[in-house]
Amino acid sequence: MSRHRRPQGFNRTDRIADQIQRELSRLLQFEVKDPRVNLATVQDVTVSRDLSFADVYFTLLGKGEEEGAEAEKVLEKASGFLRSSLAQSLNTRTTPKLRFHYDMTPENAAKMSRLIDDVRAEDRELRPDNDQPEQD
């Protein structure tokens, strides 16, 4: 056996994570009826090498941190149902325990964009000569 080969579980865990992401997206859209999670989008799934845990990262369209924390609790409570539904579609001996994490990346990106816009507007106000195009 070559020393430079990838561990065999690497590709498998990636494939399982992708399958979990697709299936959870479908379940959240069509099977979970709680309005607090109806706008949830599964952004990413990472699976532990031994397939014991799957960390599920999700966002909520147009919602904030408070709603995200509430949705995380709802999803944790629904994790048994979601896991048993996943077990039917995954071809694995065991189905990973699901751990949900609200992903604040979109909110943070929007905040950063607003801050940059504010700074640019302030800069334009402090430099009145910026309104004039430069001439050669």
Tens digits of per-residue pLDDT, 77-121? 999 999 999 999 888 888 999 999 999 877 777 788 888 988 888
Pairing of strands 97-102, 40-47: unpaired
Note the pTM of the prediction, 2 decimals.
Answer: 0.73
- Whether the pLDDT of residue 48 is over 90: the answer is yes
Instruction: Please state, in angstroms and rounded to a whole number, the distance separating the CA atoms of residues 7 and 49.
Output: 10
Give the three-class secondary structure for 15.
Answer: helix
- The set of long-range contacts for 80-83, using a CB threshold of 8 Å and a minimum separation of 24, is 81/31, 81/32, 82/24, 82/27, 82/32
In sequence order, what are the residues at sequence separation of 6 or more whose Cβ sits closer than 8 angstroms to the Cβ of residue 96? 16, 20, 47, 48, 51, 52, 53, 54, 83
Whole-number percent of the chain with pLDDT over 70: 86
- pLDDT value for 53: 96
- pLDDT value for 133: 54
- pLDDT value for 1: 37
- Whether the pLDDT of residue 9 is over 50: the answer is no
- Whether the pLDDT of residue 4 is over 50: the answer is no
- 56 DSSP assignment: E
- pLDDT value for 21: 96
Chain CA centroid to CA 98, Å: 13
Give 45's strand partners.
Answer: 56
Class of CATH domain 9-103: alpha beta
CA-CA distances (angstroms) from residue 108 to 43, 60, 65, 112, 117? 15, 13, 10, 6, 14
Q: What is the average per-residue pLDDT within 7-15? A: 71
- pLDDT value for 134: 55
